[in-house]
Amino acid sequence: MEPIIQLNDVSMVYGGNGTRATALAGISFEIRQGEYVAITGESGAGKSTLLTILGGLQVPTEGAVRIGGADLSALPADGLADFRRKTIGFVFQAYHLLPYLTARENVIVPMSPERVPSREKASLANALLASVGLAGKEGRLPSQLSGGESQRVAIARALVHDPSVLLADEPTGNLDSATGEQILDLFASLHARGKTVLMVTHNPANLARATRSLRLRDGRVEEDRLLRSLLSEPAAV
């Protein structure tokens, strides 16, 4: 299977002379379509930096990143925005829903600059919310939703453009274990539907659902371990 993500000797250095901090130090790996990769490591290992580079939110100081055939370092700012919108779905630890919008409107937000009839947008948002188990709660504000429900809305928002890659940064970090399990089940089901999932996590339970784990340490890949073959049975959901 062709790799959907290719990193070649990627480095990320912050700051200038005297205050340089190396977040990533020449890491290289490939991820194939449909993989579920758990990215682990101690705090400061470079996990979040790696995720922002994979999401096209920043460009590495050195090395090349290709996702879905696109060389991210060659894309202009608007090209990166289009790439994020079409190819990547972000899920954050703190959900980052817009508090003044309903669940349905939050899902639609990425589509708001597009000239699509409102009815179509609403219909798509309703279907996505139903797919994450939030049917009937479309009109609620984030303040009226539990943490788990808010994260489901955030996942539905990430799926609105049907991206091929889902990037999640500690998506269960703010949830209790039972709710976290439900969210991980949701990611597993998305993976089962063919999505490539990269998830920064400290949660050992997540490793049970992932097909591969990347362990970072001091900006380098300390361990790259295949947990399950993509052809094997999917993890228990």
Partner 1 sequence: MNLRTLAWKNLLRRKSRAVFTGLGIFLGIATFVAISSITSQMEGAVQDQLDRFGANIVVSPRTEKLSIGFGDIALGGTEVAHSRLTMADKERIASIHHKDRIRSVVPFFMTGMGASGKNIVWMGLPAADVAGARPWWKIQGGTGLKRGEVLLGAEASALLDKGTEGTVTAGNRLYRVAGVLQPTGEKEDGMVIADIADVQALAKKPGAVTYFEVAALCKECPVEDIVVQIGKVLPGARVSAIRQVVESRKAAVDHLRRLGFGVSAIVLLIGGLMVLVTVMGGVQERTREIGVLRAVGFRKRSIFSLLFWETGWVSLFSSLLGAGTGIAVAYLASPAFGIEHPAIVLPPAVFGAVAGLTLGLLGAIPPARRAAALSPTEAIRSL
For the chain, give the number of residues.
237
Query: At its nearest, how many Å lie between partner 1 and the CB of residue 61?
Result: 12
Query: At its nearest, how many Å lie between partner 1 and the CB of residue 108?
Result: 5
Residue ranges in contact with partner 1 by CB under 8 A? 52, 55, 57-58, 77-78, 80-82, 84-86, 88, 90, 92, 94, 96, 98-101, 105, 108-113, 115, 118, 121, 157-158, 161
**Nearer to partner 1 among residue 81 and residue 130 (C-beta):** 81
What's the Cα-to-Cα distance from 36 to each of 72, 114, 220, rounded to whole Å? 21, 30, 20
**Nearer to partner 1 among residue 28 and residue 112 (C-beta):** 112
**Nearer to partner 1 among residue 53 and residue 183 (C-beta):** 53
Quote the crossing angle between the two packed helices 147-158 and 118-131, to the nearest 10°.
130
Query: At its nearest, how many Å lie between partner 1 and the CB of residue 195?
Result: 16
Query: At its nearest, how many Å lie between partner 1 and the CB of residue 113?
Result: 4
Burial class (CB in 10 A: 0-12, 13-18, 19+), 44: middle
**Nearer to partner 1 among residue 91 and residue 235 (C-beta):** 91
CA dihedral of 73, 50, 210, 89, whole degrees rounded to 10: -60
**How far is it, in rounded angstroms, from Cα 200 to Cα 186?**
16
